[in-house]
Structure 1
Amino acid sequence: MSHLITLATCNLNQWALDFEGNRDRILESIRIAKERGARLRVGPELEITGYGCLDHFLENDLCLHSWEMYAQIIKDPKTHDILLDIGMPVLHKNVRYNCRLLSMDGKILFIRPKIWLANDGNYREMRFFTPWLKPGVVEDFVLPPEIQKVTGQKSVSFGDAVIETLDTCIGAETCEELFTPQSPNIAMSLDGVEIITNSSGSHHELRKLNKRLDLILNATSRCGGVYLYANQRGCDGDRLYYDGCALIAVNGKVVAQGSQFSLKDVEVVTATVDLESVRSYRASIMSRGLQASSSELKFKRIDLPVELSPMTSRFNPSLTPTKSRDIFYHIPEEEIALGPACWLWDYLRRCNGTGYFLPLSGGIDSCATAMIVHSMCRLVVKEVSEGNQQVIYDVRKLTRSSDDWIPTDPQELASKFFHTCFMGTENSSIETRTRSKELSRHIGSYHVDLNMDSLVTSVVSLFEVATGKKPIYKIFGGSQTENLALQNIQARLRMVLAYLFAQLLPWVRGIKNAGGLLVLGSANVDECLRGYLTKYDCSSADINPIGGISKTDLKRFIAYASKEYEMPLLQEFLDATPTAELEPTTKDYVQSDEKDMGMTYEELSLFGYLRKVEKCGPYSMFLKLLHEWTPKLTPTQVAEKVKRFFFFYAINRHKQTVITPSYHAEQYSPDDNRFDLRPFLINPRFTWASKKIDEVVKQCEANNSKELDIMSID
């Protein structure tokens, strides 16, 4: 015996406050779901407004416009004959909730507010919404007058309820609720809910997808049932990229999975599932039966007198259950190639930009940024070749091209809007200049090669005339203060030049009706954390695609790109010693990033993880690393490294207040605009913690001395 039903979930590339665009993408997803025979369609969290509205959620206009868009959706006959699960903010008794609205045939069945809100890391939902802390409680909600005219209803149920049709029971949970210890899906499944939807606004982080899918599969494996996961996709106006990967799981196995990275604005994932397999699975687990029979939380059933699975009383040879499949995961190198690339494309097309400008230094960071843009071009060309009309329209609009132009390869597309520049000085090497020029040739960017020595000399001369003092480099006898100032002059002048060229290059090239280019930054997460960058240098840009990615991961990405994109040139970037090239090179001295910082990039990544993710201060970090790094390092050496890290982190914390908005890809991002809320004026010595560290070092040294004495006696 079988009881088949076709279900649909989706990835939608929604944009904060783009009410009409968001509405149209929702309508398109409903059209596709119905076309495929689905009887239930679930969409992402807050899909009508876009998830990332932030403080705009505090504006009552947002609720008004949400209802206006919602009315247009449900009154459209093309959206009828399918159960809809749509997300938007709702004011109930003057309290703002993050809600799911479930409807069918133009009638609202009930409104389900989110119970557990995301309020850590990048998320501040409790700044905008109130959680519904009344499990199992349902109240009456009086609909706005405009909606009453559309639906013919005065009020609907509002609260923690489920829908009961003639043939099954359906419940909804939202994003964060999946990640909580007592997820609502547990109580729902014990109360007989067979189909559970989860509407999400979950952002991409490297290696994060595994956790999300593990939770879904674990939930349906323990409790049985059908789970529909929907997610937002794309850059909706901020640092985050929502990575889609809509999913349908049955009894712990995946039967359908959407893409994680794509330029498609609407992607619908459907599967036909057998409800009898859910009932059989659950009934065969005795402990589940005992817990279900004794469960105290009983949900109110909202009656929907329709049958979602057609022809259940007779065999339908045209309808078969979707087979289970293996989960697909991208390796981290692919995530770096695809996630920031999709984010860059959304940013460019939605700000109606002319293109990107990148200071290409010949080092691995700017190389990685350039390769991410190249990856973006590859994705765009692929979508164009497959006939994606939205991408074709955006390409022609951004490049100011004719209505019949089609890019044939990534290099042709890059030549239209990607601009790079090597800003050399007397401290620059032939190798970095050559690597920059060759890389630009391989990826097709419009490249400028210049020397800025005269500009640097002019500024130094101006200072000398004004003060009577001329700074000189440390290797020629100058002080550290002079040395740092001379480096910063070059770095800051590069930022000025970057914006000058970004503004005028389209004009130089004769591009009509073109505005300025967006300047790309290329400071990695480890350098930002350590503060190893000049405030307002060319790390200051419009956006930074690698600002949340570690140096270690960037090197792995370049190694991957070298083979995947058949560019052996990239190996030269990997082999080169990381250097800022801001000091003169002599036969006895070559500037090195890791030597300047006093720590390796690998150590920086670990410091960042322990500080942010493990919530370690100097003392607890020292204790953790003492166990991990000994006997390779002595306790004194471990202490020195920890103190050095916290000192430079503290004195450079102020730089994070003006750091370029970056693609968020790493849990230890130091971005203090939202993710890392720490003060920027800190005592860099951490005196009390340092004293405690010194005490432990003394104890270790004393213990080691005793052990040596014993060994000498033996």
Structure 2
Amino acid sequence: MGRKVTVAVCTLNQWALDFEGNLNRILQSIQEAKELGALYRTGPELEICGYSCEDHFHESDTYLHSWQVLVELLKSPTCKDILIDVGMPVQHRNVSYNCRVAFFNRKIILIRPKMILCDDGNYRETRWFSCWTKDRQIEDFYLPRMITAVTNQSTVPIGDAVISTRDTCIGFEICEELWNPQSRHIPLSLDGVEIISNGSGSYMELRKAYVTVDLVKSATFKSGGAYLFSNLRGCDGQRIYFNGCSCVAVNGEIVSRGQQFGLIDVEVTTATIDLEDIRSYRAKNRSRCHLAASNKPFPRIYVDFSLSDDEDIHLTTNPPIQWHYLSPEEEISLGPACWLWDYLRRSGQGGFFLPLSGGVDSSSTACIVFSMCTQICEAIKKGESQVLYDVRKIMCQPDYTPSDPMELCNKLLVTCYMASENSSRETKQRASQLASQIGSYHFPILIDTAVNAALGIFTAATGLLPIFKSKGGCPRQNLALQNIQARIRMVLSYLFAQLMLWVRGRPGGLLVLGSSNVDEALRGYMTKYDCSSADINPIGGISKTDLKSFLYYAKNRFFLPSLSEILEAPPTAELEPLADGQITQTDEQDMGMTYAELSEFGTLRKTYKCGPYSMFEKLVHKWSDKCTPKEVAEKVKHFFRCYAINRHKMTVLTPSYHAETYSPDDNRFDLRPFLYRVHWNWQFKTIDDAVIQMSKEKRTSVSRVGYEQSKTNPNSPTTTLSSSFTKNDRQGVLI
């Protein structure tokens, strides 16, 4: 009797509405799975149409083309003699469902709709789909005529069922069902389902890879079985990046896994499983067996096929493996670089243009592009023909092969130091050194002529000439003079992006890269439509703290010694006049808060859902060693004032790679108003009342200590100290 089965989980880089490309990648994964000996292949969520079709799921065309792709799969000889399930949208009785469709040898076996949808983070699934709510029930699904013409079936089962083969039983979860407290894998395993397949669309966030791995392992730890997790990879048309990590777990241990990041579009991961290991693991757990004996059964759809072979003694089962987790610095180095690569090759553009200032942010963006070039060269050396094909297509050179990352970076990345009279020699030198070390095509320009021309127009119209605060101007003049410099840089960025490949004798244009970090977006520390405005921003979802850590890592990983000076320099916009050639303006001084504090504010605001009072309540204890309650209150109020004043800037935020859990991206992740009452009167009064109460309690405590000490030591100075504290505290409250 056969007992060993080989299964395949697939990681695919699909693209929303790219039906032809998606079909070819699915077929390639099936072919590779068969070549690796697998008799069951599963893939990621909505792989036929792409996960991020969004409101295209309201269009009948999306469903039509998905069925057309399924027709091609059913007819393909590649799909013969292997059990397959694919992800696609299906409409049943005028209701749209996110489904797995299982088929074998030109016959559809089961359509299994998703039962628990995801509506948090970047997900909005209930906008397009409905849950299948009929527990352990199936109905007849009437097939489109194009399918019937191939399968000779008029109806097939749709619903909450499992597939029974000659030798085992296969059940399904779809993405969010693994994360939900009432996951389906427990009742499935209690009903004797030995293989549970999960087609997923799980996106990357920093420091979150372990969550998926722990959930996959725990899915089979308590109740045994094999769990097959297939995830998407890449950017399929959105800010998020699907990070792969497809894997197979058996009895609570990972036995096989795919990469977390990578440039290849199709990755097939197989595992050989001994079904008797699952049965013995379950049999020894007596409490589980007693529970399983009374479990309500699932409808079983039988398929006359065996995943095992009577002569499988030669097969070696996969032993447990140790999962190596990437550090946050490695995730930043790899994830945004892969996202940029997907965006570049699918946009039809010829490379990137980056205003390189010599600071941490723009340097991080440049290093991420260099990481992309490094990964491309490594993939080509490994023989990845698709990567080489895409490079040649971008370069419009059918015989081009990059020699090394620096040479490739010179062709794909143009960097420009945009100096003004307020720029220092140090930042110009740092930008030039980094550009030289990564190989980008670099040049400096002066923007003063353009700035003066814009100011000349204003003076001609008004008869007034604004001046900087340091020269006697008011804050409004000072801010306007800074903003015009920043906006001129944006205009020039797009001019050079459109024409630099023409200058270099190549067709096409360049994508403008932004380099504003997530903390600056949260605080609104940017000029609307300035050089933070770009086509895409690989660091827009990453904190300043994480970017600094990444640059320390990149300095050693890519041998870039110039990053040492960049890391040591204080962050500055360099938009105000220098004093004796030295910088007088720093970001943290301008913002009125440190980047570390901003990260705290952002995490509490978004991740922990704190309003002003809740944030104060948490920070007043966390920061008690360095701030008084009144100081904490002022910091919190200052943050929320700035947040309210600048929230409107998020409506035009450059599309950014999603990484931090507290991203303020208004377009999808952070759905909050963009027009606020700036003063937060009610909220701030609640904070002020709490400060008063805490001050009274502290005065009472100090007075009590002083009284006790005075009874034993009449000369103790505590009484005087208490009196002094009370006076100062009252003054603080009045202010």
**TM-score, length-scaled by structure 2:** 0.95
Q: Partner residue of 2:571? A: 578
Q: Partner residue of 1:399? A: 395
2-structure distance, mates of 1:648, 1:339? 31
Checking the alignment, whether the CA contact within 8 Å between 1:248 and 1:257 is kept in structure 2 is yes
2:248 match: secondary structure: strand
One-letter code aligned to 2:539: I
2-structure distance, mates of 1:471, 1:287? 80
Structure 2 CA distance for partners of 1:304 and 1:420, relative to 1, 3 Å: same
2-structure distance, mates of 1:97, 1:326? 36
Give deviations 1:136-194, integer Å, cap 9, x for gaps.
01000010011001001110000000001111110011001100001011110011100
Question: Post-superposition shift, 1:398?
Answer: 0.6
Selected match of 2:511 from 504, 514, 518? 518
2-structure distance, mates of 1:572, 1:125? 46
Checking the alignment, whether the CA contact within 8 Å between 1:2 and 1:274 is kept in structure 2 is no
Larger Rg: 2
1:374 aligns with 2:367: no
2-structure distance, mates of 1:586, 1:705? 46
Selected match of 1:349 from 342, 345, 350? 345
Give deviations 1:585-610, integer Å, cap 9, x for gaps.
21597101011101111111111111
Give deviations 1:289-316, integer Å, cap 9, x for gaps.
1221122x310000112211011xx5x4
One-letter code aligned to 1:70: L
Checking the alignment, whether the CA contact within 8 Å between 1:226 and 1:278 is kept in structure 2 is yes
2-structure distance, mates of 1:210, 1:40? 26
Question: Post-superposition shift, 1:509?
Answer: 1.1
Q: Partner residue of 1:411? A: 406
2-structure distance, mates of 1:591, 1:379? 37
One-letter code aligned to 1:136: R
Selected match of 1:612 from 585, 606, 610? 606
Checking the alignment, whether the CA contact within 8 Å between 2:2 and 2:309 is kept in structure 1 is no
Q: Partner residue of 1:569? A: 562
1-structure distance, mates of 2:561, 2:290? 62
Which sections of structure 2, spanning at least 5 residues, go unmatched? 710-735
Moved more, 457-466 or 152-161: 457-466
Selected match of 2:533 from 536, 540, 544? 540
1-structure distance, mates of 2:83, 2:429? 60
One-letter code aligned to 1:310: D
1:435 aligns with 2:434: no
2-structure distance, mates of 1:631, 1:320? 59
Checking the alignment, whether the CA contact within 8 Å between 2:148 and 2:154 is kept in structure 1 is yes
* Alignment of structure 1 residues 442-591 onto 2, 5 Å: 442-511=437-506, 514-586=507-579, 590-591=584-585
2:131 match: secondary structure: coil
1-structure distance, mates of 2:48, 2:259? 22
2:289 match: secondary structure: helix
Structure 2 CA distance for partners of 1:3 and 1:36, relative to 1, 3 Å: same
2-structure distance, mates of 1:477, 1:149? 82
Question: Post-superposition shift, 1:317?
Answer: 4.3
Question: Post-superposition shift, 1:36?
Answer: 0.9
One-letter code aligned to 1:612: K
Q: Partner residue of 2:329? A: 333
1:182 match: secondary structure: coil
Checking the alignment, whether the CA contact within 8 Å between 2:365 and 2:538 is kept in structure 1 is yes
Percent identity over the alignment is 58
Checking the alignment, whether the CA contact within 8 Å between 1:2 and 1:276 is kept in structure 2 is no
One-letter code aligned to 1:211: V
1-structure distance, mates of 2:579, 2:701? 47
2:96 match: secondary structure: strand
Checking the alignment, whether the CA contact within 8 Å between 2:515 and 2:538 is kept in structure 1 is yes
Give deviations 1:204-235, integer Å, cap 9, x for gaps.
11011111111111111111100000011111
Give deviations 1:73-102, integer Å, cap 9, x for gaps.
111122111110101000100111000001
Q: Partner residue of 2:241? A: 241
1:66 aligns with 2:66: yes
Q: Partner residue of 1:305? A: 304
1-structure distance, mates of 2:524, 2:147? 53
Moved more, 118-127 or 528-537: 118-127
**TM-score, length-scaled by structure 1:** 0.98
Give deviations 1:9-55, integer Å, cap 9, x for gaps.
01000000000100000000000001111011000000000001111
Q: Partner residue of 1:104? A: 104
Checking the alignment, whether the CA contact within 8 Å between 1:201 and 1:242 is kept in structure 2 is yes
Q: Partner residue of 1:706? A: 700
2-structure distance, mates of 1:250, 1:709? 64
Give deviations 1:375-402, integer Å, cap 9, x for gaps.
000000111111111111111111122x
* Alignment of structure 1 residues 164-183 onto 2, 5 Å: 164-183=164-183
Moved more, 566-575 or 44-53: 566-575
Question: Post-superposition shift, 1:555?
Answer: 0.3
* Alignment of structure 1 residues 194-233 onto 2, 5 Å: 194-233=194-233
Question: Post-superposition shift, 1:454?
Answer: 1.6
Checking the alignment, whether the CA contact within 8 Å between 1:14 and 1:236 is kept in structure 2 is yes
Checking the alignment, whether the CA contact within 8 Å between 1:113 and 1:160 is kept in structure 2 is yes
Please report the RMSD computed on the Cα atoms of aligned residues, expressed in angstroms. 1.1
Q: Partner residue of 2:38? A: 38
Question: Post-superposition shift, 1:416?
Answer: 1.2
One-letter code aligned to 1:95: V
2-structure distance, mates of 1:26, 1:328? 28
2-structure distance, mates of 1:246, 1:166? 27
Q: Partner residue of 2:715? A: none
Checking the alignment, whether the CA contact within 8 Å between 1:529 and 1:670 is kept in structure 2 is yes
Checking the alignment, whether the CA contact within 8 Å between 2:333 and 2:371 is kept in structure 1 is yes
Structure 2 CA distance for partners of 1:535 and 1:685, relative to 1, 3 Å: same
Question: Post-superposition shift, 1:453?
Answer: 1.2
Q: Partner residue of 1:423? A: 418
One-letter code aligned to 1:517: L
Question: Post-superposition shift, 1:538?
Answer: 0.4
Q: Partner residue of 1:684? A: 678
Q: Partner residue of 2:281? A: 281
1:643 match: secondary structure: helix
Checking the alignment, whether the CA contact within 8 Å between 1:226 and 1:249 is kept in structure 2 is yes
2:270 match: secondary structure: strand
1:656 aligns with 2:650: yes
1:223 match: secondary structure: coil
Q: Partner residue of 2:723? A: none
Checking the alignment, whether the CA contact within 8 Å between 2:424 and 2:583 is kept in structure 1 is no
Question: Post-superposition shift, 1:463?
Answer: 1.3
Structure 2 CA distance for partners of 1:589 and 1:273, relative to 1, 3 Å: closer
Q: Partner residue of 2:263? A: 263
2-structure distance, mates of 1:452, 1:116? 55
1:18 aligns with 2:51: no
2:97 match: secondary structure: strand
- The aligned length equals 707
Question: Post-superposition shift, 1:711?
Answer: 3.3
1:340 match: secondary structure: helix
2:20 match: secondary structure: helix
Checking the alignment, whether the CA contact within 8 Å between 2:3 and 2:309 is kept in structure 1 is no
2-structure distance, mates of 1:168, 1:124? 35
